[in-house]
Amino acid sequence: MKHKPIRAIFPGSFDPITNGHLDVIGRGVKLFDELIVAVGQNPLKDVLFTPDERVEMIRQLVADKPRVSVQSYDCLTVEFARRVGADVMLRGLRNLTDVQYEFQLAMTNRTVAGIETVFIMTSEEYGYVNSTMVREIALLGGDVSRLIPAPVYDALRRRLESRPSTP
């Protein structure tokens, strides 16, 4: 029996995209016919790259994956899922804190919008990587080159060099 193509979204802020995110995309796409990386705008998070810059960076990184596309959105994630006709939301899990938070989010999204969430476990080597930490370490002059893809590292360095230093 031929099944209806399954379209999933992988929502996040991706500011910046890390090796952990890329790993989830690489393994996650195998589960679906189509995966849309959905770059959201979180008003509560400090922004390093604009949504357009993030989309552009991610597009380059997934250029070799024909079933992956990238879009930004500024509405509720479930609303974006509805607009693009996605059946599933893909999320990554790193630790028990993620499980607790994601469980609540997944239940809410299923209740209010009827959308299912599929979780993928992080690879051990990226279990501790998150974008907030990458931003903080980089802002304080630390080396994040092993946590993010090389083109993102270059963009991050350029961004920090052009930033006025805060007193």
- Binding interface with ligand ADP (CB under 6 A): 12-14, 18, 20-21, 24, 91-92, 94, 98, 122, 126, 129-132
Shortest Å distance, C-beta 122 to ligand ADP: 3
Nearer to ligand ADP, 93 or 160 (CB): 93
Nearer to ligand ADP, 14 or 73 (CB): 14
Strands ordered across the beta sheet of 68-72: 68-72, 34-39, 7-12, 88-93, 116-121
Nearer to ligand ADP, 4 or 35 (CB): 35
Shortest Å distance, C-beta 1 to ligand ADP: 31
94 flagged as catalytic = yes
Spot the catalytic one: 7, 21, 54, 135. Answer: 21
Shortest Å distance, C-beta 32 to ligand ADP: 15
End-to-end Cα, the chain, rounded Å: 64
131 flagged as catalytic = yes
Shortest Å distance, C-beta 57 to ligand ADP: 13
Nearer to ligand ADP, 1 or 72 (CB): 72
7 flagged as catalytic = no
